[in-house]
Amino acid sequence: MSQFIEDGAKYLLDNPDIAPNSAAYLWNKKMMVQVSCRGYAVGQFMQPEPAKYAHIPSLAAKSFMQPEQPYFSHHPGRFFYVRDDETGEMFSAPYEPMKVKLDDFKFIPGLSDVTWVAQKFGIEITIRLTLVNDEVAEVYQVSVKNLSNKPRKISLIPYFPVGYSSWMNMGGDFDKELNAVVCTCISPYQKVEDHFKQKHFKDITYLTADRTPNSYEVALQKFEGDGGLHNPSALQDKQNLTNGNALYEMPACIMQFELELASNQQEDTTLLFGPAFDKAEIKNLKAKLFDGSLNDKIHDYEDYIHSGNGCFDIHTPDDQLNNFVNNWLPRQVFYHGDSNRLSTDPQTRNYLQDAMGMAYIKPDSTRASILHALSQQESSGAMPDGILLTDEAELKYINQIPHTDHPVWLTIVIEAYLNETADWAILDEQVKWGDSDEITSVYDHLSRAMQFLIKERDHRGLNYIAQGDWCDPMNMVGYKGKGVSGWLTEAVSFAIQKWAKVCVIKNDQTQADQLNQTAQEINKCINNELWDGNWYGRGITDDGVIFGVNADKEGKIFLNAQSWALMCGAPSDDQKQKMFNAIDEQLNTPYGVMMYAPAYTAMRDDVGRVTQKWPGSAENGSVYNHAAAFYASSLYQLNESDKAFDVLRKMISGPNDADIKQRGQLPVYIPNYYRGAYYQFPRTAGRSSHLFNTGTAAWFYRLTCEEMMGLKGCPEGLNIQPKLPSQWQEAHCTREFRGAIFNVRYIKSDNDALRVDVNAETITDSIIRDIKANTTYDVVVYF
Ligand code: CEZ
């Protein structure tokens, strides 16, 4: 049985076979590490670009996280062989690489640590992984306990492979003075100029401990021998490690600690693993962390994670949802907003939506992000493809490909920020432009962004797509400069209507009228050009071919083109019904709503590389949770509360083991996608990408707070309009808002009209006004 424990602050998986690749992640501002229940790991740090310190033997981009990361026996991981030195019996923890069936197994992701417990042959090993703030190092606190009633001689052999770090130069040795295995390499390069960039790289990977090993090994091949990782030659026949080094041989950090344990005795060891520039850095880190203050530093890290607690707690009839929303969802939102996904040039739309999530966690950070993004806006109103976070940062990879949607997200993030804070003064902040010395107000920046979007339309009134919109890999619809995005056109209509509301508050009725009128015109164009009879098409290619329509064999119906049409108010009631029917029939699955269907099985060179992704993976027709969240948003806007809840709820894996098994993932984060192509490939449908980078987190959090629980800020105060699923009879929510605390009880009543009692008095409408900070409000909502 796998389940939440400790009020949802931890999760327990007690079997490594249910979801073998299920994983948890930890991060600080400089690094992140994702670890699987079986001990595989993907670690990354910033120098200042993302880099790895333990490598795969070959293949694989070094900088970004890979979806559905395939693990194989030599994949990087953090493993511990445990051997009875008298009998020679051995197992490995957490589970790989030996895969000996354990008497007890526990994988316990926590909010700021990850723990494994493995038991076999009367020996128990507990491994706890944590990080500390501001350091790039994985901290392992390992204890080995003799559970039997006689003294035992037990070897603990951490095996941390470093992998193929460089074809130019790699090796390693044990450093006695440091008490560390130190593996070195030269990051490969060919251009002279790269030498000057890379010579500051942390090309060392080390493993150090707070106790001296009896022996060690650094050459992977010598350790493994013919026995293989599941029975390494170096440990067979009760042999001990023979202190070997690695000389242009695949390095691994391996130490042997020989422990003599009385019955029930336990020995603790702390290990540090990570990258370093030189030995002095390792020495300094050891001095800092092994000076008796490690537990304090781990507490500081816990405090850091807790500083990202969200602004509300829910108590609904759905425990799994409560546990997820109260603990893991805000944590994921905080991860995105505080680390910027550990990149130096986040995609603009990601940067803005991650900042949107922070409005509910640390609104000052949202404010700073909005101002920072706007300082890179072009004076035309356009937004760059990525936001540079440091002076040295450059636009790389996908950010060198022109996407046309970026300004759209500005109004969405600013709306969330204003809802939460009512900080209208932000609109008068003066901000520079990316390409001129001019300095103008935030209000002007946003207005220009909207006017820019309005202008970037073709003769049909539809927005150009260039080499992509929200959908990154839809790169060939409009690369010749003519193709248009139906989705973007809808998003523009939606964004300018939102902005019109702000214009009204700013007494700029002229612009408000113009925006609203333009939105009406755009909606007409959408209906004229893109309505296909039962749903809206996704776009029109450079050659004038509409796609995402019934006539298409693959990519017939796209979710985004429906969700945003609903959001911008394009369809009539009759059209809406047809769209819902089509979505339910063609896109809905037990694992969520697919982004489109059927998934493409062959390249369409007038749509682009999205059609080349594996059908049902990523944007090619998966349950792409970010897109599903947009759909949920559109459903809440239309008061389709049950449908919206269903969409959100399906993003959380479990609670039963069958669902966890199919998805392969624990409910400790929402993944970028679950496999779709439900009708094409049912066997793999639902399988998680295991990517925890996704704009979904911010949307899910916002929707739960503002829509489902209905606690949305407005200029006057807190507007209470719950949209709870109809099967709930009652619920409870504690919400921090503008410095006050609201204890809200929801009670289902027979009366259709909403009634809100604040401190035992019924208020006339649903808005709580004149909120006083540092006050607790008792609210009862009869819905
Ligand atoms: O990246 C995300 C982007 O970060 O894809 C989303 C987009 O809106 C986000 O901004 C949808 O396209 O092939 C690609 O280039 C993909 O675009 C991926 O990099 C994609 C991945 O899912 C990464 O997590």
What is the average pLDDT value for the chain, to the nearest integer? 97
pLDDT tens, position by position, 240-282: 999 999 999 999 999 999 999 999 999 999 999 999 999 999 9
Smallest CA-to-CA distance from 338 within 299, 364, 312 is with 364
Q: How many whole angstroms from 389 Cα to the centroid of ligand 1?
A: 19
End-to-end CA distance of the chain: 36
Active site residue 14: no
What is the interface pTM, i.e. ipTM, of the complex?
A: 0.96
- Confidence grade of residue 72 (pLDDT, cut at 50, 70, 90): confident
State how far the alpha carbon of 519 is from the alpha carbons of 510, 522, 631, 659, 764, in Å.
14, 5, 20, 43, 33
pLDDT, residue 65, reads 79
pLDDT, residue 63, reads 60
pLDDT tens, position by position, 115-159: 999 999 999 999 999 999 999 999 999 999 999 999 999 999 999
- How confident is the model over 596-606, as a mean pLDDT? 98
Q: How many whole angstroms from 764 Cα to the centroid of ligand 1?
A: 46
Residue 185 has pLDDT above 60, yes or no: yes
Q: Which atom of ligand 1 is nearest to the CA of 474?
A: 12
pLDDT, residue 69, reads 85
Q: Which atom of ligand 1 is nearest to the CA of 691?
A: 24
If phi > 0 it is left, if psi is from -120 to 50 it is alpha, else beta; for residue 325 that is: alpha
Smallest CA-to-CA distance from 522 within 450, 428, 583 is with 450
pLDDT, residue 56, reads 79
- Confidence grade of residue 1 (pLDDT, cut at 50, 70, 90): confident
pLDDT tens, position by position, 634-648: 999 999 999 999 999
pLDDT tens, position by position, 294-349: 999 999 999 999 999 999 999 999 999 999 999 999 999 999 999 999 999 999 99
- How confident is the model over 482-508, as a mean pLDDT? 98
pLDDT, residue 672, reads 98
pLDDT tens, position by position, 663-680: 999 999 999 999 999 999
Catalytic, out of 318, 469, 472, 532: 472
Smallest CA-to-CA distance from 472 within 527, 402, 532, 419 is with 402
Q: Is the pTM of this model over 0.90?
A: yes
Q: How many residues does the chain have?
A: 783
Residue 393 has pLDDT above 90, yes or no: yes
% of residues, the chain, pLDDT over 70: 99
Smallest CA-to-CA distance from 203 within 280, 275, 137, 286 is with 275
Residue 55 has pLDDT above 90, yes or no: no
Q: Which atom of ligand 1 is nearest to the CA of 472?
A: 12
List residues near ligand 1 (CB under 6 A): 347, 349-350, 398, 470-473, 618-619, 672, 691, 693
Q: At what angle do helices 509-530 and 559-568 cross, to 10 degrees?
A: 140
Choosing from 383, 619, 694 the residue with most ligand 1 atoms within 8 A of its CB, the one to mutate for a pocket test is 619
pLDDT tens, position by position, 502-521: 999 999 999 999 999 999 99
User: Alpha-carbon distance 90 to 111, whole Å?
Assistant: 31
Sequence-separated (6 or more) residues with CB below 8 Å from residue 389: 340, 343, 344, 345, 346
% of residues, the chain, pLDDT over 90: 97
- How confident is the model over 401-418, as a mean pLDDT? 98
DSSP 3-state percent helix, strand, coil across the chain (nearest 5): 30, 25, 45
- Asked if 756 and 720 touch (Cβ cutoff 8 Å), the reply is yes
Question: Is 61 buried (19+), middle (13-18) or exposed (0-12) by CB count in 10 A?
Answer: exposed
User: Alpha-carbon distance 193 to 19, whole Å?
Assistant: 45
- Confidence grade of residue 452 (pLDDT, cut at 50, 70, 90): very high
User: Alpha-carbon distance 379 to 221, whole Å?
Assistant: 59
- Asked if 57 and 202 touch (Cβ cutoff 8 Å), the reply is no
User: Alpha-carbon distance 93 to 565, whole Å?
Assistant: 51
Q: How many whole angstroms from 336 Cα to the centroid of ligand 1?
A: 14
